[in-house]
Structures are given as C-alpha cells and as structure tokens.
Amino acid sequence: MARSGATRVVVGMPALVLLVTLAGAGAVSFVRVNVGIANVREGPSTKTSILGRAYEHDPLQVLTRRGAWLKVRDFEGYVGWVHASLTEPGPAVIVTASRANIRSGPGTSHPVISTAEYGLAFPVVRDAGRWVEVELGDGSRGWVHESLVWGAD
C-alpha cells in the first residue's frame, strides 16, 4: 500500500474499507488486510470474477462468513468477498476526506507532520477522544481527527 504521499492505484472497485461483525459475537470489531493486495470477488470462490482490490491495512466490515470467505462492504457501499486468510484482527482507518492533516499530537494546536489523501489506510495505535493515533508507512506515528477517517474505534 502506498504511504506518505505516494499515489495509490485502485483497480475496479475503490479501496475497500470495512468494519467486521463476527457471526455470533454481537459486537462490532475490525479486521484489516494483511497482504499487499487482496482480490475482492463476486462470490466466495477463486473461480468468481474479481470486482476490485483491497490493500494492506484497509479495514474491512464483514457482513457474513461462508467457510473461509468473508462477505464485506466498504465505506462507499461496495460489497464483495475476500478470503479470511488475507485479513487479521486489528483496528485500522481510511481517509474519507479529500485530504487529512496528520498531526504530532491529538489536537489542532499540534503541528502538521504529514498529509494523507482520500483512500489511504493506516493501522490504528490508539484513540484519544475524537483523535486517532495511526502508524505511518515509515513506522512513525501521527494523529488524525476521527471526522476525516472511517474504520476502527
């Protein structure tokens, strides 16, 4: 996945960002893509058409599970199937604003250390009120306001 100002190319369906509702769990939890590129398919099989791709750290919302396959929906409403082995538990967010400032601390009084474009996903380190600490591609950390992203709490 592209990081720190690099361009991210999405083929077919826009980058998938999704929450996960585990069957029987009752509570909403999150998973994220744990490989560079995960094909999102029309059905729960590698024999079905590829609708699009999800990229490393993209959060995914699971609508249902069929065997080793997860039916997912992204923040834009696209629905498809991804193999569960291509995901892992863990919070992540994706930028939903056209551009989001990444700050050195949780608040607008902290300096901007980077910016992120629409569709860029980050693993979440922790929350502080309405601010989310994320891990940047170079391993450094920064803070983004929750109104600019979609994904994990």
Residue 135 lies in a domain: yes
Two tokens, residue 66: 């069929």
Give tens-digit pLDDT for 46-83. 999 999 999 999 998 888 899 999 998 887 778 999 99
Query: What is the CATH number for 29?
Result: 2.30.30.40
28 and 54 assigned to the same domain: yes
Phi-psi map region of 107: left, alpha, beta (phi>0 left; psi -120 to 50 alpha)? left
pLDDT confidence band for 151 (50 / 70 / 90):
confident
How far apart CA 24 and CA 128 sit, in angstroms, is: 29
Residue 1 lies in a domain: no
- What's residue 29's pLDDT? 62
Residue 10 lies in a domain: no
> What residues make up the domain containing 138?
93-151
Residue 2 lies in a domain: no
Residue 6 lies in a domain: no
Residue 130 lies in a domain: yes
Residue 5 lies in a domain: no
42 and 82 assigned to the same domain: yes
The domain tally of the chain equals 2
Q: Average pLDDT of 132-139?
A: 96
121 and 139 assigned to the same domain: yes
